[in-house]
Amino acid sequence: MSANATPTDRLARFALSPARRRKDRFARASVLAGTAIALVPLALIVYYLLRKGLGAWSPSFFTTDPTGNTFFGGSSIGGIKSAILGTIEIVALASAIAVPIGIGVAVWLVEYGKSSWFAQTVRFFVDVLTGVPSIVFGLFVYIVLVVGTGSTYAGYKGSIALALLMLPVVIRSAEVILLLVPAALRESALALGAPRWRVIFNIVLPTALPGMVTGVLLAVARAAGETAPLLFTAAATLKTNFNLGGFMNSLPVQIYKDVTSPTTAVVNRAWGAALTLVVMILLLNLIARLISRRSRLA
């Protein structure tokens, strides 16, 4: 009999039992279904943003300030000019604060602190900062800069709240990149007689630059979408304002205020503003990805 067995019969001894095969199929199908479920909300959000947002877009949408008028439909409610400019101003100042400090701390961690107890403590506290909810940063800035100075809201106070939020992201991403700079490069420069600071400024930082730009752009993208820290630091206003010492509007706050409105036209403005904000953030992400692809480190 065994002589009659074809190769297929002999192989059949190694075949899976139907139960195990079914289990495998079922598990793989479930994993695939889970992945599909994860992508559904993305598709829905993109679809609705485009459908509702593009409907709200018009040239005047970007060139007029919101009027504060929420009771009449149509164009009288105004656009989102002050919100776009406010977001750009606040985020630009936040980056100007967070990037030098963040990269400075990262350089210290990698070049000087290394694995000393003090450096470990700083790393721990930076991790703590990462986990702090953004609204708590808003409270902090409110306590120190609004209550503390007895004054009121201002654009630059919003920037400081966002800068606190960006700091841990900038520090951690810059540290990871700086660690990737080959030790041989530093040692060659030191062996040629370069002092430490020149090694840092002329060798380490330029090598790490593209990678650090990626981290910074991701931090900026994250900060640009934040609403909570701005609510009681920069507040909201209608007019375009180029003075960071005054009240300032921003896209997330504008959207938040418009969401709660009973007027359809105002809600539509929120969709248009949301699409604008998402496009700005995606552009930053895209640029970050392109730069990181061209970087030689990582």
Return the residues of window 164-203 that contact other proteins according to CB under 8 A. Answer: 164-165, 167-169, 172-173, 175-176, 179, 193, 195-197, 200
Q: Is 44 in the site for other proteins (CB under 8 A)?
A: yes
Of 183, 185, 143, give the one whose Cα is nearest residue 161: 143
How far is the C-alpha of 130 from the C-alpha of 114, rounded, in Å? Answer: 20
**Can residue 249 be called a binding residue for other proteins (CB under 8 A)?**
no
Q: Compute the half-sphere exposure of residue 293: CA atoms within 13 Å on the CB side of its CA.
A: 6
Between 12 and 45, name the residue whose CB sits nearer to other proteins. Answer: 45
CB of 29 to other proteins, least distance (A): 10
CA atoms within 13 A on the CB side of 72: 8
CB of 233 to other proteins, least distance (A): 11
The site for other proteins, by CB under 8 A, has a size of 95
Residue 222 Cβ, how far from other proteins at the closest point, in Å? 5
Q: For residue 77, what are the CA distances in angstroms to 4, 55, 265?
A: 87, 15, 8
Residues 90, 156: Cα–Cα separation, whole Å = 7
Interaction mask 72-111, other proteins, x per CB under 8 A: -----------------------------x--xx-xxx-x
Q: Is 66 helix (H, G, I), strand (E, B) or coil?
A: strand
Among 125, 185, 206, 290, binds other proteins (CB under 8 A): 125
**Of 1 and 108, which has the nearer Cβ to other proteins?**
108
Q: Which of residues 17-36 bind other proteins (CB under 8 A)?
A: 20-21, 23-24, 27-28, 30-35
CB of 4 vs other proteins, minimal distance in Å: 26
Question: Which part of the chain contacts other proteins (CB under 8 A), choosing from 71-79, 182-190, 211-219, 241-249?
Answer: 211-219
For the bound state, the minimum distance from the C-beta of residue 145 to other proteins, rounded and expressed in Å, comes to 11
Tell me which of 119, 209, 238, 287 binds other proteins, using CB under 8 A. Answer: 119
Q: Is 70 in the site for other proteins (CB under 8 A)?
A: no
The answer to whether 62 and 79 have CB atoms below 8 angstroms apart is yes
Q: Which of 218, 244, 240 is nearest to 230 (CA)?
A: 244
Residue closer to other proteins (CB basis): 3 or 39: 39
Strand partners, 78: 66
Least separation in angstroms between CB 3 and other proteins: 27
Q: Can you tell me the distance from the alpha carbon of 63 to that of 222, in angstroms, rounded to the nearest whole number? A: 25
Angle formed by the axes of helices 264-294 and 251-259, nearest 10° = 150
Q: Considering the complex, what minimum distance in angstroms separates the CB of residue 5 from other proteins?
A: 21
Residues forming a β-bridge with 66: 78
Q: What is the C-alpha to C-alpha distance for residues 151 and 145, in angstroms, rounded to an integer?
A: 8
Residue type, 254: Q
